[in-house]
Amino acid sequence: MHFALISKILGLLLVVFSFTMMPPVAVAYLYRDGSEGPFLVSFSISMLLGLALWLPFFRQRAELQVRDGFLVVTLFWSVLGVIGALPMLISEAVPVGFTDAVFESVSGLTTTGATVLSGLDELPKSMLFYRQQLQWLGGMGVIVLAVAILPMLGIGGMQLYKAEIPGPMKESKLTPRIAETAKALWYVYLAITIACALAYWLAGMTLFDAICHSFSTVSTGGFSTHDASMAYWNSTPIDIIATAFMLIGGISFALHFAVWRGKTLLAYMRDPECRFFLGLMLLYMLMVGGGLLVFGIHEAPGEATRHAAFQVASFGTGTGLTSTNAAAWPGYIPLLLVFTSFIGGCAGSTAAGMKVVRAALVFRHSIRELRRLIYPNGVFALRFGKHVVNDRVLQAVWGFVGVYITLSVIFTLLFTMTGMDLTTAVSAVAASINNLGVGIGQVGGGFANITDEAKWMMTVLMLLGRLEIFTFLVLFTPLFWRQ
Amino acid sequence: MHFALISKILGLLLVVFSFTMMPPVAVAYLYRDGSEGPFLVSFSISMLLGLALWLPFFRQRAELQVRDGFLVVTLFWSVLGVIGALPMLISEAVPVGFTDAVFESVSGLTTTGATVLSGLDELPKSMLFYRQQLQWLGGMGVIVLAVAILPMLGIGGMQLYKAEIPGPMKESKLTPRIAETAKALWYVYLAITIACALAYWLAGMTLFDAICHSFSTVSTGGFSTHDASMAYWNSTPIDIIATAFMLIGGISFALHFAVWRGKTLLAYMRDPECRFFLGLMLLYMLMVGGGLLVFGIHEAPGEATRHAAFQVASFGTGTGLTSTNAAAWPGYIPLLLVFTSFIGGCAGSTAAGMKVVRAALVFRHSIRELRRLIYPNGVFALRFGKHVVNDRVLQAVWGFVGVYITLSVIFTLLFTMTGMDLTTAVSAVAASINNLGVGIGQVGGGFANITDEAKWMMTVLMLLGRLEIFTFLVLFTPLFWRQ
Ligand SMILES: [K+]
Ligand SMILES: [K+]
């Protein structure tokens, strides 16, 4: 392990992160909400800590190795999670202790969007902006993680995407490649966010709300500046825009990049994961929309379609914005929505969950097993698009899915030990490990009232989910720390 | 497909099955309960139907092929499920319609033990005996299925056990091998049942109850002759005997056979699946027993141990006998118990669920994936006891586990559509697909009050679970029926 190098990188990240305290300061001055103080203090702490970690090692020239990657990525999200909590912890306008502040900050950075706050509409504008910005930064971080880093770490079969990474290909040297990739993806992410903000603005939001909600839509984060979330506007055009951009956020940004470079929308239809994703979304929408009509929640098919599409896009991509009180829909519908978040969005998107590509591979593999029972000596290759998926990738996918489901079941039990009923416990697991953020049952109205133990468990699950489980888990094996 | 041969085999099975109506007739005469009529009628119907299927083809000399096996096995359990319902449907002492009668019969034959009846203590003795006998026959059937047939069909990785089947080894010819294996296992099953019945009798049960409960204990079936199940006696010795024989029923009967032949109990400890199974049971017992003490349900550690051990053995092996009202235990405990049934007992036992060997392989595989992340070029063989598990077996296991979990989730949603809450729906799925039989939540007191749709879904799930999913599922692929 190159600890000196890791310290240098982490320090550099903190220095860069400290500058993200500046836009909220600007917002504070602009709206004269008097809340610039906490951000300036947090800026200083983050900057000083970053310099302290960076300067002693700034001459370090060693190359980052694949194995160091696990530690850097985990430290990156956990340290920024704690540092990101500072403004809320310091500010007197936000009545939170350490547990709640870290919960909220990690929830932001992991694009989870679960909140312990209420009375959002009364918070200082700068604080609202800061929360939304955390999500946007987290979304950018996760795209780089998913597109540039995880394929090289080989997590959960993501080596499948090694060849598709934009930028130069140098297997053993992480740094230049990540930088190149990040730059390419940055433009795409920024362009889509601007388009989303413009659309919201034209549809009637204030410019402030339009920008804030574009941050939490494209990042599939789900924070809002209003307690009522998108239901605050109750506007069909706004719901349609949100639905579209949540779906866009759930598609691989490497694919968006390819579409932008190739100048043809057909690339979406040629991508097997994207096709599978859109097919799933359509299926869910039919099941939810049909249910709304059958149960008579919406009599007009148009309204049923609007809310079904919005909520399916929101749960299915793990965004967690709400257009209506879906937790109160009858019977199976809220549960179905919660379950959709376990599959989640595409690899390389801002969405979390197990990822569509893995679900698709698991599905095709099961079909193949059925075929093999009938023709025990037959040879059936597993194809995904133009790839033939090799056994090594498939085993990694299965390992990932197995650990994901096992952890979900174990934490469901642990949550029931904190006094939750089963629906609430399942909902809390989905909200955190799938970075979904929104709950049903006793947490339908937010996570302020769960126990501190439950909040910490959710915080860990948010990180686990965002770091694709294994990045985090591998640090707990003795083998990792052996020379 | 050799339809003529399949008809001959099925006919023969029905003829044999018709004779199982005779012991209840004897019981009816013995206790003068006046209920011999329904059994005699059922005997005639089963016999005539059997002869009608058998006689036209009794000169058939074709060999049964592996592929025919799927159809024979599925028909075997479904046809006997319907025919087995006749006595209850005909008898006026049992107030059930077609749905309930088939539910109860399939529940018996699949060793599920979920019941729609109440007032058991008032039923004719012959009918009580018949229900218990259904379970015992089902248990015998499933041992032969698991030990002799599934390894050859290659279901869910069970080809792992191909080499361990007692009896002569002739790959392509199913019939002589199944007969040899069945004979060996029959003696073991009978001996264990007699031991169990004697123990119950010595502990204070009437001879009738001792025999009846030995049938449903060793088969991990869970039917009882009393509404209160084993709590009827509230006897520590009886609870200990039941716990021991449920655990024995959860261990492979091929292993029992090996122990009997090798005359050393050490064979249990040398078997990797058995070790894993006993380790899991111990872990569950600590979690449940600890919970009972913490929540103050039992103040005496002895009582906590007794009930924790009993209920863990009952849920963990999917037996479903009850020593106390475990559904009313607080918090996480009933859920934990229900979840244990998804892993279930060992392959080759009478217990259902996904099987310990598969859980163990999934667990080891996940550990291996963690290792591979750290050493991407390392070669890590997956061992299970003396076997090196090849990739083909592992893929079959994963395919099985994936389909099992997916079906469980889908049916949980379907059950909530029939009006169940989530806890009840999860419980109904576990009770049926894991052949567990006992429920918590709204079905804590039995399954009489669920909708007919739910009863039919459970009936299908019982068969799916008992036939290891794929035996049944493969019949629904067009590929299976192609020439
Ligand atoms: K989210
Ligand atoms: K059972």
List the 421-440 stretch of B: residues with Cβ below 8 A of A: 421-423, 426
Torsional sign, CA A436, A439, A440, A442: positive
Ligand 2 centre from B186 Cα, in Å?
Answer: 20
Q: Tell me the average pLDDT across A85-99.
A: 92
Please say whether the beta carbons of B199 and B192 come within 8 A. Answer: no
User: In the structure encoding, which two tokens stand for residue B393, read together?
Assistant: 């077996």
* Distance of alpha carbon B295 from alpha carbon B418, whole angstroms: 33
- Determine the 3-state secondary structure of B226 from DSSP: coil
**Encoded tokens for A185:** 């993806």
Residue B76 has pLDDT above 60, yes or no: yes
**What stretch of H or E contains A384?**
strand A383-384
Query: Rg of chain B over CA atoms, in angstroms?
Result: 22
Are the beta carbons of A154 and B477 separated by less than 8 Å? no
Q: What is the mean pLDDT of residues A223-248?
A: 95
Tokens in use for B456?
A: 């039919």
Chain B residue numbers with beta carbons less than 8 Å from the beta carbon of A394 are 395
A residues 23..62 contacting B (CB < 8 A):
none
B-chain residue closest to A365, CA distance: B399
SS3 A388: strand
User: Is the pLDDT assigned to residue A168 strictly greater than 70?
Assistant: no
Contact predicate B440/B331, CB 8 Å: no
Q: Pairing between strand A387-388 and B387-388?
A: unpaired
With CA atoms as reference, report the closest residue to B272 among B384, B161, B156: B384
| Predicted confidence band of residue B199 (pLDDT cuts 50, 70, 90) | very high
Find the range with the poorest average confidence among A241-245, A430-434, A454-458, B253-257. Answer: B253-257
Residue A419 DSSP one-character state: T
- pLDDT band of residue B172 (cuts 50, 70, 90) is very low
What's the whole-number mean pLDDT along residues B54-76? Answer: 84
Cβ atoms of B113 and B437 closer than 8 Å: yes
**Binary contact (B370, A426; C-beta < 8 A):** no
Q: How far is CA A319 from CA A25, A349, B328, in A?
A: 27, 12, 37
Distance CA A94, CA B388 (A): 58
**Tens digits of per-residue pLDDT, B1-20?**
678 888 998 999 999 999 99
Quote the pLDDT of residue A175: 56
> Could you give the dihedral angle defined by the CA atoms of residues A153, A154, A158 and A163, in that order, rounded to the nearest 10 degrees?
80
- Scanning A203-300, the segments in alpha helix (DSSP H) are 207-218, 236-249, 253-262, 266-270, 272-294
Q: A112: helix, coil or strand?
A: coil
pLDDT at A173 over 80: no
Residue A371 pLDDT greater than 90, yes or no: no
Contact status, residue A465 vs residue A110, Cβ threshold 8 Å: yes
- Residue ranges of alpha helices (H) inside A375-451 are 391-417, 422-433
Distance from the Cα of residue B92 to its chain's centroid: 29
pLDDT band at A445 (very low <50, low <70, confident <90, very high): confident
DSSP A167: S
> What is the ipTM, given to two decimal places?
0.90
* Cβ neighbours of B59 (radius 10 Å): 8
Residue B164 has pLDDT above 60, yes or no: no
Q: What is the pLDDT of residues A253-306, one digit of tens each?
A: 989 988 888 878 888 998 999 999 999 999 999 999 999 998 888 888 888 999
B287 touching A, CB under 8 A?
Answer: no
> B97 — contact with chain A (CB < 8 Å)?
no
Inform me whether the C-beta atom of residue A283 falls under 8 Å from chain B C-beta atoms. no
Instruction: Please provide the size of chain B in residues.
Output: 483
Higher per-residue confidence, A195 vs B296 = A195
| B373/A474 Cβ within 8 A | yes
**Is residue A121 less than 8 Å (CB to CB) from chain B?**
no
Mean pLDDT across A166-174: 43
pLDDT at A85: 96
Residue B261 clears pLDDT 90, i.e. is over it: no
Find the angle CA(A190)-CA(A192)-CA(A193) to the nearest 5 degrees.
65
Q: Model confidence over B341-389: pLDDT tens digits?
A: 999 999 989 998 999 999 999 999 988 888 888 888 888 888 888 778 8
Q: Are A202 and A208 in contact (CB under 8 A)?
A: no
Q: Chain B: nearest CA to A398, how far in angstroms?
A: 7
Residue B166 has pLDDT above 60, yes or no: no
Look at residue B170 in the predicted model and tell me its pLDDT: 37
Contact of A395 with chain B, judged by CB distance below 8 Å, is answered with yes
Q: What is the pLDDT of residue B393?
A: 87
Closest CA to B108 of B131, B79, B78: B131
Instruction: Give A329-350 pLDDT, tens digit per residue.
Output: 887 899 999 999 999 999 989 9
Q: What is the mean pLDDT of residues B270-274?
A: 92
The predicted model gives B87-101 an average pLDDT of 93
pLDDT grade, residue A212 (50/70/90)? very high
- CB atoms A155 and B373 under 8 Å: yes
Q: How far is it between the farthest Cα atoms of chain B?
A: 74
CA B238 – CA B245 distance, rounded (Å): 11
Is A160 buried (19+), middle (13-18) or exposed (0-12) by CB count in 10 A?
buried
Establish if A475 touches chain B: CB-CB under 8 angstroms.
Answer: no
Mean residue pLDDT across chain B: 90
Give the contacts of B47 (CB within 8 A, at least 6 positions apart): B14, B15, B18
Whole-Å CA distances, B95 to A58, A317, B116, B123, B226: 84, 50, 10, 10, 17
pLDDT at B176: 61
Report chain A's mean pLDDT, rounded to a whole number.
90
State how far the Cα of A266 lies from the Cα of A283, in Å rounded to an integer: 21
Determine the pLDDT at residue A172: 40
In angstroms, rounded to a whole number, what is the distance separating the alpha carbons of residues A426 and A415? 8
**CB contacts, 8 Å: B479 with chain A:** 370-371, 374-375
Residue A478 has pLDDT above 80, yes or no: yes
In the prediction, which pLDDT does A65 show?
A: 77
- Strands of A56-205, DSSP E: none
Cα A140 to Cα A124: distance, rounded to the nearest angstrom: 25
Q: Give the torsion sign (CA, B343, B345, B348, B351).
A: negative
A29-69 pLDDT tens trace: 999 988 899 999 999 999 999 999 988 888 877 777 778 88
Which tens digits make up the pLDDT trace of B209-253?
999 999 999 999 999 999 999 999 999 999 999 999 999 999 999
Q: What is the pLDDT of residue B168?
A: 40
Q: Are A355 and A280 in contact (CB under 8 A)?
A: no
Cβ contact A143:A253 at 8 Å: yes
Query: B153 at the A interface (CB within 8 A)?
Result: yes
| Residues facing residue B388 across a β-bridge | B383
| A409 in reach of chain B (CB within 8 A) | yes
What's the rounded mean pLDDT across residues A99-106?
A: 96
Band (B169; pLDDT cuts 50, 70, 90): very low
Proportion of chain A above pLDDT 70, given as a percent? 96
How near does any CA of chain B get to the CA of A72, in Å?
14
Contact A240, A306 (CB under 8 A): yes
Nearest chain A residue to B420 by CA distance is A331
The predicted model gives A163-173 an average pLDDT of: 46
